[in-house]
């Protein structure tokens, strides 16, 4: 079973200003993003037992100031955030149809697109981390040269003992082509210790016929630990060379499916950091995901974040 040389975690990616509907023509401002959602939930779940940082790049504007202040107030390490005097945070607006959401994005000039431009800043952000988490969205928003800078920083961090977790989280609109995705994913899998894919993404990208096929492909790529999320279906797992599956408990009262996978990742990774087995970590991930989808929005109120032993 994988171990960790430190509980300290750095999640890498983009957070955006969120405009969520609260009434006819009225919206509430918040912040969200896949790896940010995971980092935020981890920070609340770990309750100060570890440092959790969110490595990103934001602007110098008031929205960016408010974002950094909110993270600091919620016990995240903001020292790994850099500032861009020329760009601001990206923005998206939500439309809600029942429990499903649709999104409208303004992120083409987001400051986060420069988060990996400085290799030395990345190295400093990763120093002392036991776990570094990123996603396919992290990769998609970066210029190709900066992506290579990120890969080099991840390789150096792994050489110094860090573990890397990766959620492919494929968003085709962010990539120039699906071929570009297929060329990039193997590069990051070569640097990945824990993979947290969603089966529907793997079907769309690679044509996998079953979660077991997904596990086999990740194992061939050299990933030691894999948990395949599959909506309401079982979570399939590869750990210590063994394949298994755990059923996903039925969830009643679903209000909003946004952020379900990010919540699972938070529960899973937090449990693993605390020494729980991958199977126990899946149960923790399912608890987090269940809470998220019975609440409006991708992040839970602090009081509803599940506790961990």
Helix residue spans in 53-143 (DSSP H): 62-73, 119-126, 136-140
| 181 within 8 A of 175, measured Cβ to Cβ | yes
For residue 164, the SS3 value is strand
3-state helix, strand, coil in the chain (%, to 5): 40, 25, 35
Do the domain assignments include residue 309? no
| 302 within 8 A of 295, measured Cβ to Cβ | no
pLDDT score, position 258: 84
Do the domain assignments include residue 4? no
Do the domain assignments include residue 258? yes
Do the domain assignments include residue 239? yes
Q: Is 34 designated active site?
A: no
DSSP state of 183: H
Q: Kindly give the confidence (pLDDT) of every residue in the chain, 309 residues in length, as a single tens digit, with 9 standing for 90 and above.
A: 999 999 999 999 999 999 988 877 889 899 999 999 999 999 999 988 999 999 999 999 999 999 999 999 999 999 999 999 999 999 999 887 765 678 899 999 999 999 999 999 999 999 999 999 999 999 999 999 999 999 999 999 999 999 999 999 999 999 999 999 999 999 999 999 999 999 999 999 999 999 999 999 999 999 999 999 999 999 999 999 999 999 999 999 998 888 999 999 999 999 999 999 999 999 999 999 999 999 888 899 999 999 887
| 37 within 8 A of 263, measured Cβ to Cβ | yes
| Dist CA 107 CA 137 (whole Å) | 12
DSSP 274-298: TT--HHHHHHHHHHHHHHHHTSSSS
Do the domain assignments include residue 224? yes
Do the domain assignments include residue 64? yes
CATH of the domain at 58: 3.40.1190.20
User: What does the block give as tokens for 303?
Assistant: 């009081």
The count of structural domains within the chain is 1
Do the domain assignments include residue 1? no
Other CB atoms within a 10 A radius of the CB of residue 99 amount to 13
User: What does the block give as tokens for 60?
Assistant: 């110098």
Q: What is the CA radius of gyration of the chain?
A: 18
pLDDT score, position 64: 97
| Cα-Cα end-to-end distance for the chain | 19
Closest CA to 4 of 224, 203, 212, 210: 224
pLDDT score, position 40: 98
Do the domain assignments include residue 2? no
Query: What is the β-pairing status of strands 82-83 and 57-58?
Result: parallel
Closest CA to 133 of 37, 253, 232: 37
Which is catalytic among the residues 34, 84, 208, 262? 262
Residue whose structure tokens are 């923005």: 91
pTM of the model: 0.96
pLDDT score, position 21: 83
Which domain does 283 fall in, by range?
9-304
Residue 270 Cα to chain centre, angstroms:
13
């Amino acid at each position: 079973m994988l171990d960790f040389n430190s509980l300290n975690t750095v999640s890498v990616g983009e957070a955006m200003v969120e405009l969520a509907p609260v009434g006819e023509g009225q919206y509430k401002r918040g912040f969200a993003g896949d790896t940010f959602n995971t980092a935020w939930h981890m920070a609340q779940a770990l309750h100060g037992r570890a440092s959790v940082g969110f490595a990103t790049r934001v602007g110098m504007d008031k929205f960016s100031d408010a974002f950094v202040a909110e993270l600091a107030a919620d016990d995240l390490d903001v020292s790994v955030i850099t500032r861009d005097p020329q760009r601001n945070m990206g923005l998206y607006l939500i439309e809600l149809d029942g429990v499903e959401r649709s999104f409208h994005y303004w992120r083409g000039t987001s400051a986060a697109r420069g988060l990996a431009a400085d290799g030395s800043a990345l190295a400093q952000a990763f120093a002392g981390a036991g776990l570094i988490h990123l996603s396919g969205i992290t990769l998609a928003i970066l210029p190709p040269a900066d992506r290579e800078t990120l890969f080099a920083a991840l390789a150096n961090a792994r050489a110094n003992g860090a573990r890397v977790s990766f959620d492919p989280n494929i968003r085709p609109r962010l990539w120039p082509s699906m071929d570009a995705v297929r060329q990039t994913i193997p590069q990051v899998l070569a640097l990945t210790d824990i993979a947290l894919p969603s089966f529907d993404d793997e079907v769309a990208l690679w044509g996998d016929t079953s979660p077991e096929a997904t596990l086999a492909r990740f194992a061939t790529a050299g990933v030691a630990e894999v948990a395949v999320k599959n909506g309401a279906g079982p979570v399939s797992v590869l750990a210590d060379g063994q394949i298994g599956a755990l059923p996903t408990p039925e969830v009643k009262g679903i209000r909003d499916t946004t952020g379900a996978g990010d919540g699972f990742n938070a529960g899973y990774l937090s449990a693993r950091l605390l020494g729980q087995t991958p199977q126990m970590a899946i149960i923790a991930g399912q608890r987090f995901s269940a809470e998220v989808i019975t609440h409006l929005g991708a992040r839970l109120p602090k009081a509803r974040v599940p506790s961990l032993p």
